[in-house]
Amino acid sequence: MSTPESQPEKTSARGKRADAVRNQQVLLDAAGEVFVTSGIDAPIREIAAKAGVGLGTLYRHFPTRADLVTAVYRHQIEACAEAGPKLLAEADLPFDALRQWIDLFVDFLVTKHGLADALQSESERFAALHTHFLDRLLPVCAQLLDAAAAAGEISSDVRPYELLRGIGNLCIGRDSDPRYDPRRLIEPLLQGLRPHAAPGA
Amino acid sequence: MSTPESQPEKTSARGKRADAVRNQQVLLDAAGEVFVTSGIDAPIREIAAKAGVGLGTLYRHFPTRADLVTAVYRHQIEACAEAGPKLLAEADLPFDALRQWIDLFVDFLVTKHGLADALQSESERFAALHTHFLDRLLPVCAQLLDAAAAAGEISSDVRPYELLRGIGNLCIGRDSDPRYDPRRLIEPLLQGLRPHAAPGA
Amino acid sequence: MSTPESQPEKTSARGKRADAVRNQQVLLDAAGEVFVTSGIDAPIREIAAKAGVGLGTLYRHFPTRADLVTAVYRHQIEACAEAGPKLLAEADLPFDALRQWIDLFVDFLVTKHGLADALQSESERFAALHTHFLDRLLPVCAQLLDAAAAAGEISSDVRPYELLRGIGNLCIGRDSDPRYDPRRLIEPLLQGLRPHAAPGA
Amino acid sequence: MSTPESQPEKTSARGKRADAVRNQQVLLDAAGEVFVTSGIDAPIREIAAKAGVGLGTLYRHFPTRADLVTAVYRHQIEACAEAGPKLLAEADLPFDALRQWIDLFVDFLVTKHGLADALQSESERFAALHTHFLDRLLPVCAQLLDAAAAAGEISSDVRPYELLRGIGNLCIGRDSDPRYDPRRLIEPLLQGLRPHAAPGA
DNA sequence: CATGAATGAGCGTTCATTCAT
DNA sequence: AATGAATGAACGCTCATTCAT
């Protein structure tokens, strides 16, 4: 399925009633907005109210908060994952592809701010989101990293998980602070991975 | 004295009763532990229980949660701030001092894990902690950065606030994840600040 | 029917669920009783317990204590207000109507004892109740007073607000004390308003 | 003891230490002020703080709140009681003495506002204050009432307790409301007790 | 004796979750 | 299937009261 945006999403579809499908989407939209406004720990009621549905409906579609959070960010993750190979194919140098992909990744984390927080959450409840996130993005990141290493553009032994995690961390709290722009740190971090930069350490 | 840890600290002492002073410390210890376990938003009751004192005692010593959080981390911040100039004086190269100081900084954030989370908190309530944190550490970081830049060891225009913030972010959630070690990203990040690392961008 | 007691009252009714309407009434009854027993500052929990509902239910129906207090006494006030003009129309002498109306007023204050206390409360929270009380009863009292004055049955310059307030005050604490019957003071007070009683002062 | 004001008061005195006696008085003064400001349910701490003594000291002198309240108002009550016979002896007509005495009574209730509230309190805790209050003032009121009745100036069968209670009630909440002046009702009430005022009823 | 630190019951309030309608 | 009323655990906080110092 190459265009996930074009369908009501696999979370529902199937023999469902039309209004049920519609509610699903309405809830996802509402939750996404509320997560940005009030964080992913926002009162369930607030989300249901914003969606204009009853509490029970929300619970029916997303029994746990984690289900909702996961569903909300699945799109983002999917699109990001798909961009990796494409960038690699298009770029002249693998390192450029990596840089562009991370830029995209940062875009997601920063524009849909809730995500970074969600991924950060210590709670067991978001294990599913974590898992999905890693399952989908770790291979992509690894591919890019490997390609750059194979081309001799990277000397560091940084692991994909570390990199993803670190970039994610750097993006936390970006919105609330105009003095802080994660990209101004990410660029040197990437440069630091290059071969010529490692006389010390 | 150079080791503030060795004294009951100015937060209390003075004409106070012995048990009051003791309770103050017991509470700080308990809070520190609980912050790690349950985050800085842990129920007040949990902290009081862990300390083995009544609720009222906690409130007497620390009327607001922010007071408690601030007190808990004041030590750490102070010791870290004092280490900066000392390292600069002792190191051969300013960049080495910077690296060592950041290592120390990471130590604090990582061993007293709650801190990074606390600094991250969006809440207005922790403005005092933020302020104290920045007031104390920003100048130190700036001094180290300036020294390194003056020695030609740094070419990046990274600002002290950005660096501090970024390092802090990278340390978030370190404990819960054995696969993640912030230092493995911090080292390349610092290398990326050096002159020879900037042909790209 | 002319007695508002006979209907569920506009406070609820409408498309509501049957049990919600029932709870509303159950809560009002319980609150009324508890107000008498423990005053209008009785613990919220006590009222909810007496009504046999959960805490949240009480909060749902009456978000603030003032809402509950007001709702509890709205009936009383309304019925009393409506009685004024009727008595005036039926009585031979305006003064008799006034006397009868005040008798009714006392009935309300004394049988639904909490009211006098509620009106007495200094708290800002009950401003709404105060307002409603005065909005509704002051004009009635004024009308009766004016009619009696116009008929030459009253010489005193007592103002409606004073009279209402005074009668209300006299009724405070009636229940707890068998030796005290406010009517035994109210009768002379009314007599004292008549023309022939004013040689002194 | 004709001038109770001139001595530290019987509540203490005796073989006590000088500072204990002083504390007693300081506490009474502080309590009196706080009762006016914050009502007789004001936090104990507030009173101790205003008096500049420790909590334990307050509790030592006045084990219960009622003890404190009673002690605070004992002076007032005593002075009022003593004024009755004096007024009766000086006045031309017993009714005038009654009127003046009640005026005095109202003065007390209104200037030391807390009193009316205290006497009103339903709580068992203030039984002692009630008792003292009645023990001391009821006979005085009775004497004045009897004298007026004996002189044919009063026809009503109002009982001393009722009158005292009613006047007290009328004074409740006077301070907070500029529109309300209890004396404007007390005057007609007293007039209503006179013989010529009773054709109706 | 005086002090005020410590205690903890008790209150108001929020909000996740269930379930009657 | 959708609704939202009901529930009650859990939390922050206050303050009367006790008791170590």
DSSP letter string, C35-102:
HHHH-TT--HHHHHHHHT--HHHHHHH-SSHHHHHHHHHHHHHHHHHHHHHHHHHH-SSHHHHHHHHH
**Spatial CA neighbour of C169 closest among D37, D101, D167, D38:** D167
Cβ <8 Å between C188 and D193: yes
pLDDT averaged over chain D? 84
Report pLDDT for C13: 45
CATH class held by domain A73-197: mainly alpha
Residue nearest to nucleotide E18 (CA to C1'): A56
Collapsed DSSP state (helix, strand, coil) of residue D136: helix
- Model confidence pLDDT, tens digit, residues B89-116: 999 999 999 999 999 999 888 877 677 7
pLDDT of D197 higher than 90: no
CATH number of B73-196: 1.10.357.10
Q: Which nucleotides of E are covered by protein (CB under 7 A)?
A: 1-21
Distance CA D118, CA B33 (A): 49
CATH 1.10.357.10, chain A: domain bounds: 73-197
Residue D124 CA to nucleotide E4 C1', Å? 29
Q: Which residues of A touch B181 (CB under 8 A)?
A: 162
Distance CA B43, CA D173 (A): 42
For strand E, which residues in window 35-64 of chain C come within 7 Å by CB?
41, 43-46, 55-56, 59, 64
Cα angle vertex C195, ends C80, D181, to 5°? 60
Distance CA C154, CA C102 (A): 15
- Model confidence pLDDT, tens digit, residues C70-125: 899 888 889 899 999 999 999 999 999 999 999 999 988 887 767 777 777 767 77
Report pLDDT for A15: 57
pLDDT of D73 higher than 50: yes
- Which of C120, C122, C191 faces D192 most closely, judged by CB atoms? C191
Question: Greater confidence, A11 or C153?
Answer: C153
List all residues 6 or more positions away from D127 whose beta carbon is below 8 Å from its beta carbon: D66
Confidence of residue D15 (pLDDT cuts 50, 70, 90): low
Cβ <8 Å between C177 and D190: no
Q: What is the dihedral of CA A100, A104, A110, A111, to 10 degrees?
A: 140
Report pLDDT for C26: 95
- Which of D190, D193, D196 faces C196 most closely, judged by CB atoms? D196
Nucleotide minimizing C1' to CA distance for residue B60: E5
Distance of CA D142 to the CA centre of its chain: 16
The residue of C133, C187, C196 whose CB has the most chain D CBs within 10 angstroms, and thus the best one to mutate to test that interface, is: C187
DSSP 8-state assignment for residue C194: S
Collapsed DSSP state (helix, strand, coil) of residue A3: coil
D17 CB closer than 7 A to any strand E atom: yes
Mean pLDDT of B116-122: 72
Q: Which residues of A touch B163 (CB under 8 A)?
A: 185
Distance CA B132, CA C122 (A): 43
CA C153 vs CA A82, B139, C88, D37, D188: distances in Å: 94, 86, 14, 42, 14
**Which CATH fold would you assign to the domain C4-63?**
Arc Repressor Mutant, subunit A (1.10.10)
Q: Which residue has the tokens 């008096």?
A: D51
Mean pLDDT of B138-149: 96
pLDDT of C4 higher than 50: no
Distance of CA B176 to the CA centre of its chain: 18
Q: Which residues of B touch A191 (CB under 8 A)?
A: 191-192, 197-198, 200-201
Looking at domain D68-201, its CATH superfamily turns out to be Tetracycline Repressor, domain 2 (1.10.357.10)
Q: Which residues of D touch C201 (CB under 8 A)?
A: 187, 191
Residue C28 CA to nucleotide F5 C1', Å? 17
pLDDT averaged over chain C? 85
Distance CA B157, CA B146 (A): 10
* At least 3 CB pairs under 8 A between chains A and B: yes
User: B104 and B72 in contact (C-beta within 8 Å)?
Assistant: no
CA C12 vs CA B18, C6, C51: distances in Å: 60, 14, 17
**Spatial CA neighbour of C87 closest among C96, C79, C74, C77:** C96
For chains A and B, what is the number of CB pairs under 8 angstroms? 106
Report pLDDT for C196: 66
Q: What is the dihedral sign for C-alpha B9, B12, B14, B19?
A: negative
- B184-198 CB burial, b ≥16 within 10 A, e <16: bbbbbbbbbbbeebe
Cβ <8 Å between B165 and A180: yes
Report pLDDT for B145: 96
CATH class held by domain A10-63: mainly alpha
B16 CB closer than 7 A to any strand E atom: yes
User: D118 and D35 in contact (C-beta within 8 Å)?
Assistant: yes
Distance CA D140, CA D78 (A): 11
Report pLDDT for D41: 87
Looking at domain D1-63, its CATH superfamily turns out to be Homeodomain-like (1.10.10.60)
Q: Which residue has the tokens 């106070």?
A: B16
Q: How many angstroms separate the CA of residue A57 from the nearest CA in chain B? A: 30
pLDDT averaged over chain B? 85
Q: How many angstroms separate the CA of residue B136 from the nearest CA in chain A? A: 18
H or E element in which residue B77 lies: helix B65-90
Nucleotide minimizing C1' to CA distance for residue B46: F11
Nearest CA in chain B to A167: B170
Report pLDDT for D97: 96
Count of beta carbons in the 10 Å neighbourhood of residue A112: 17
Report pLDDT for C119: 76
pLDDT of B71 higher than 60: yes
- Model confidence pLDDT, tens digit, residues D129-161: 888 888 999 999 999 999 999 999 998 889 999
Report pLDDT for B3: 40
Question: Greater confidence, D170 or A39?
Answer: D170
- Model confidence pLDDT, tens digit, residues A111-162: 776 777 777 766 677 777 888 889 999 999 999 999 999 999 998 889 999 9
CATH 1.10.10.60, chain D: domain bounds: 1-63
Q: Six-digit token pair at A140?
A: 């992509």
Q: What phi-psi label fits residue B52: left (phi over 0), alpha (psi between -120 and 50 degrees) or beta?
A: left
Q: How far is the first Cα of chain D from the last one, in angstroms, to the nearest whole number?
A: 46
Distance CA B195, CA A13 (A): 55
Looking at domain C72-197, its CATH superfamily turns out to be Tetracycline Repressor, domain 2 (1.10.357.10)
Report pLDDT for A47: 96
Confidence of residue B18 (pLDDT cuts 50, 70, 90): confident
Nucleotide minimizing C1' to CA distance for residue B19: E5
Cβ <8 Å between B162 and A184: yes
User: B24 and B11 in contact (C-beta within 8 Å)?
Assistant: yes
List all residues 6 or more positions away from D28 whose beta carbon is below 8 Å from its beta carbon: D9, D68, D71, D72
Mean pLDDT of D38-53: 92
H or E element in which residue A140 lies: helix A127-150
Which chains sit next to D, with 3 or more Cβ pairs under 8 A?
A: C
Nucleotide minimizing C1' to CA distance for residue B22: E5
Report pLDDT for A109: 85
Cα angle vertex A99, ends A98, A104, to 5°? 95
Encode chain A (201 residues) as per-residue pLDDT tens digits.
Answer: 344 444 444 444 455 667 778 889 999 999 999 988 888 889 999 999 999 999 999 999 999 998 999 899 888 889 899 999 999 999 999 999 999 999 999 988 887 767 777 777 666 777 778 888 899 999 999 999 999 999 999 988 899 999 999 999 998 877 778 899 999 999 999 999 998 644 444
Confidence of residue C20 (pLDDT cuts 50, 70, 90): confident
Distance of CA B124 to the CA centre of its chain: 18
Which chains sit next to C, with 3 or more Cβ pairs under 8 A?
A: D
List all residues 6 or more positions away from B43 whose beta carbon is below 8 Å from its beta carbon: none
